[in-house]
Structure 1
Amino acid sequence: MADIISFTGKGLLLAIKIKQVLGEESPVYTKFSEIDRNELPEDVIYVEEKLSDWTGRRFKEHVPLIFIGACGIAVRAVAPCVKDKFSDIPVVVVDEAGLFCIPLLSAHVGGAKKLAVTIAEAIGATPVITTATDVNNLFAVDVFAAENNLVMLDRNGVKKVSAKLLNEREITLKVDGGKIRGIIPKEVKITNKKKADVIISPKKVDAADCLLHLVPKAVYVGIGCKKGRSSDDIRRMFNEVVEQGNIEKTAVLGAATIDVKEHEPGLREFVREEELSFQTFPAEVLGNVAGEFSASDFVKKTVGVANVCERAAAAACGKKYKILVPKIAENGVTAAMALKDWSVRF
């Protein structure tokens, strides 16, 4: 969950206590030079290298960090690595007495605030929260996006939305096609109008219609192909179905096909290059998907079900789905697109 590092004997004891809270997946490190290495608990790792080098590797591996010590130590260690709130790792600082717990970097997007609060509650510390929306008890759109797995297309939009909340104490928000769950903050006004400050939609949205477009990962593309089709052949059809559906590419959660195509080299290469999840289904499962689909006697004779791409896209979505783009075909590749049932929670 996080790497914990301390610099004194007292800090090491607190680090071990925090590890007990976070679990075994949070290793404890120390740079306490006065300690006898032979007396270290066997699950505590002594850091020989420079702190800046050790920290830099955590940033590269995107491992959250907890510093037990002064803020200045943490600041100097992370300073060469800091880029922006969307790519920085979560960094939390806890003083060695366990009095204060400070989310130093990536409080919202990375979850450092949540981590700091968790630690503070467990050890009886005070979480020191300084983010503007938090101290003003306002809706934090970046936290909302992260918790709902929404892609932020224009990161500057987060600043614009937060600024409007801080200045005007109200924003409008539109959810296009999904359900709304939870308690809506009083400063968020839900609208169905074309324009809104925040639009949540898998579809393409005109930049002039919102300050921030959040994209739910709620779309699956079903693919069928003849043997030997290349990843480029499949990608062309994938791009075509995305275009016809007027869907943001980042809304595509994964690809799906029939199990006999699971090891098709071009298909495997395509999903790997596009970093998509990949599901396969037996012909019997595809044949039992409820709904109306196009059918081919040749396909049924070949693989045991009359349609692969539409049924695979629907199967990946689960019981509730909507076909956005029915089967299209070219050069031995078929593709279709389906939207799963999705929601956001406040």
Structure 2
Amino acid sequence: MKIAIVSVSNKGQKLALKLKEKLDSDSTIIRCDLFHKNVKKYLKIAFFEYDAVIAIMASGILIRTIAPYIESKVTDPAILNIDDNGKFVISTLSGHLGGANSLTNKIANLINAVPVITTSTDVNRKLGIDVLSKDLYLSIDNTNEILFFNKAILEGREIAFTLNPNKNYDYLTDYLNNNTLEIVLSINYSSNVNPDEIHVNLDEHKIVLKEKKIVVGIGCRRGKEYEKILEAFEKSLNDLNIHKSRVNMLSSAEIKKDEKGILELSEKLEIPVNFVDLEKLKLFESKDIQKSEFVKSKFGIYGVCEPSALITAGFDSKLIYKKTSYDGVTVAIAISK
């Protein structure tokens, strides 16, 4: 997640600096930038160029400034509002699909504030269909149906999930078993459902949830043991609450194609691995990747795990886990659009 923090007062700026310091050490935060004063200019930039905006200011200023830019819960960024004293963190816009509600809880915990969330499913302890899709990195084919299904869930009506019988959906069952929010559902199986989809039905209404491609990029020192690579892999997934069955591919650079630890990881987890050509890695550009002069001096490329994950995930993919080192193993995670 790329976050912009916009402050107005000197007190708000101090809070922004404190918050940025904490977020910079979080592997799930790809970038965190600060903007101060000139609210009209910076909120407009933040709204269109970042995944989330944290506005440390009065709610009136925030709402009046972003009002002309609001379009849809599908495309709008997460908007959070914090008072100058850092007492309350308010989820203001895109609570579910944008991730504002979960980010509100994270930020409130970091600064010891009270999280304020007002979405109906959350306050009634129900699992919204859009929350499920966001948490499991699934796209929704017909977002106009979200309101119908969430209303049905609030009313305690049973919705039906239909899955492909030959697909491993452990990530879904694990999520449902461990979630503390309530949802009434039945699970059916049909070979007519694509393996990367979950069909949701009630009456004549239907939503198709489709897996976005999750790619775990891996770099490592030569001869790194399988157990150490597995440990790094599992730690990174735990940070994102991603079940290993939800990972679609592994990736690395072609210089690692004979690395036994990576090949063993792919074989034992039954997850295919893509080794990206060096030429593609040399040509790849992204302002979000971390550049290593050491890797550049040895292999002629600036990095392995981040660019290989992004290339494998496809055009317009983005990082959801920046390069993180674990005892000679680096891991980054990318997701398709």
* TM-score with structure 1 setting the length: 0.54
Q: Which residue of 1 aligns with 2:83?
A: 95
Structure 1 residue 284, shift from structure 2 partner: 8.7
Which of 109, 126, 130 does residue 114 from structure 2 map onto? 126
3-state SS of paired residue (1:84): coil
Which of 211, 214, 220 does residue 216 from structure 1 map onto? 211
Query: 1:93-150 CA distances to partner (integer Å, 9 max, x unpaired)?
Result: 0011111110111111111112111111122211110001000000122121112111
Specify whether residues 65 and 191 from structure 1 end up closer, same or farther in structure 2 by C-alpha distance, changes over 3 A only: same
Count matched residues.
223
Q: Which residue of 2 aligns with 1:4?
A: 5
- Residues 193-212 of structure 1 mapped to structure 2, 5 A cutoff: 202=196, 211-212=206-207
CA distance in 2, matches of 1:204, 1:142: 13
Q: Which residue of 2 aligns with 1:26?
A: 32
Structure 1 residue 90, shift from structure 2 partner: 1.0
Which of 77, 93, 106 does residue 94 from structure 2 map onto? 106
Please tell me whether residue 142 in structure 1 is matched to residue 137 in structure 2.
no
3-state SS of paired residue (2:152): helix
Q: Which amino acid aligns with 1:23?
A: D
Structure 1 residue 203, shift from structure 2 partner: 5.6
In the alignment, structure 1 segments of 5+ residues that lack a partner are 32-46, 221-252, 257-276, 290-314, 323-346
Structure 1 residue 205, shift from structure 2 partner: 6.4
Query: 1:195-241 CA distances to partner (integer Å, 9 max, x unpaired)?
Result: xxxx8853696988752110124699xxxxxxxxxxxxxxxxxxxxx
Query: 1:30-62 CA distances to partner (integer Å, 9 max, x unpaired)?
Result: 21xxxxxxxxxxxxxxx4xxx333222223323
Contact 1:102-1:127 within 8 A present in 2 as well: yes
Q: Which residue of 2 aligns with 1:320?
A: 270
Structure 1 or 2, whichever has the larger Rg, is 1
CA distance in 1, matches of 2:49, 2:252: 24
CA distance in 1, matches of 2:198, 2:136: 19
3-state SS of paired residue (1:187): coil
Q: Which residue of 2 aligns with 1:86?
A: 74
Q: Which amino acid aligns with 2:174?
A: R
Query: 1:75-105 CA distances to partner (integer Å, 9 max, x unpaired)?
Result: 1111111111110011100011111110111
CA distance in 2, matches of 1:16, 1:63: 19
Structure 1 residue 190, shift from structure 2 partner: 3.0
CA distance in 2, matches of 1:109, 1:201: 23
Q: Which residue of 2 aligns with 1:13?
A: 14
Structure 1 residue 189, shift from structure 2 partner: 2.1
CA distance in 2, matches of 1:23, 1:316: 31
CA distance in 2, matches of 1:174, 1:75: 40
CA distance in 1, matches of 2:194, 2:105: 28
Specify whether residues 283 and 54 from structure 1 end up closer, same or farther in structure 2 by C-alpha distance, changes over 3 A only: closer
Contact 1:201-1:214 within 8 A present in 2 as well: no
3-state SS of paired residue (1:65): strand
Query: 1:293-317 CA distances to partner (integer Å, 9 max, x unpaired)?
Result: xxxxxxxxxxxxxxxxxxxxxx999
Structure 1 residue 162, shift from structure 2 partner: 0.2
Contact 1:139-1:188 within 8 A present in 2 as well: no
Give me the CA root mean square deviation: 3.9
Structure 1 residue 173, shift from structure 2 partner: 2.4
Q: Which amino acid aligns with 2:76?
A: D
Structure 1 residue 10, shift from structure 2 partner: 1.7
Specify whether residues 65 and 145 from structure 1 end up closer, same or farther in structure 2 by C-alpha distance, changes over 3 A only: same
- Residues 279-318 of structure 1 mapped to structure 2, 5 A cutoff: none
Q: Which residue of 2 aligns with 1:192?
A: 188
Please tell me whether residue 161 in structure 1 is matched to residue 162 in structure 2.
no
* TM-score with structure 2 setting the length: 0.55
Structure 1 residue 318, shift from structure 2 partner: 8.3
Q: Which amino acid aligns with 2:211?
A: P
Please tell me whether residue 181 in structure 1 is matched to residue 182 in structure 2.
no
CA distance in 1, matches of 2:86, 2:182: 35
CA distance in 2, matches of 1:124, 1:70: 19
Contact 1:160-1:211 within 8 A present in 2 as well: no
Q: Which amino acid aligns with 1:163?
A: K
% same residue? 27
Query: 1:275-332 CA distances to partner (integer Å, 9 max, x unpaired)?
Result: xx999799999xxx9xxxxxxxxxxxxxxxxxxxxxxxxx99986379xxxxxxxxxx
